[in-house]
Amino acid sequence: MNETITWRIMFYTATFTRKQVETFVADLKKETNFGGYSIDQVTFDRATSDLLYITFQFEAQQKLDDPLIHKMVKYLYARAVHPGHLDTKQYYQIVNQSSQKLGIDYFASGDRQMDITFWGTE
């Protein structure tokens, strides 16, 4: 049975521009799936002086474990850092770093929801 997973992703405006996040959203909207999981919706929700907010929803056939979530979040971060084009070298330069070094925080609220903040690196 498929379950809708909702991730609320926040981008720190000192690191990520609105244009960068809008391109990130547009790129994801072009995709039919996210690592084999069907994408339901990607929306740019709002902006404040400090954060840009998006909602990302996808369908999962089973509960996601922590190592998989960690990889999925880093993949999204890599897509945000390199909007419009992410090559293999860029991807591995990011995923081989710790979330702490990249400035990624995330907190699960139940099995189907998570808040993610991309602070980025200075």
Residue 37: name the closest of 9, 67, 63 by CA.
63
Torsion of CA 82, 71, 122, 105, to 10 degrees: 130
Q: Assign 109 to helix, strand or coil.
A: coil
Structure confidence at residue 111 (pLDDT)? 73
Residue 118: name the closest of 40, 41, 9, 44 by CA.
9
Asked whether the beta carbons of 40 and 58 are under 8 A apart, the reply is yes
Residue 34: name the closest of 79, 90, 65, 95 by CA.
79
Structure confidence at residue 84 (pLDDT)? 86
Q: Is the pTM above the cut of 0.85? A: yes
What ranges in the chain are assigned the alpha helix state H?
Answer: 18-30, 66-81, 88-95, 99-102
DSSP 3-state percent helix, strand, coil across the chain (nearest 5): 35, 35, 30
pLDDT 10s per residue in the chain (122 long)? 789 999 999 999 999 999 999 999 999 999 889 888 999 999 999 999 999 999 999 999 888 889 999 999 999 999 999 988 889 999 999 999 999 999 999 998 877 899 999 999 85
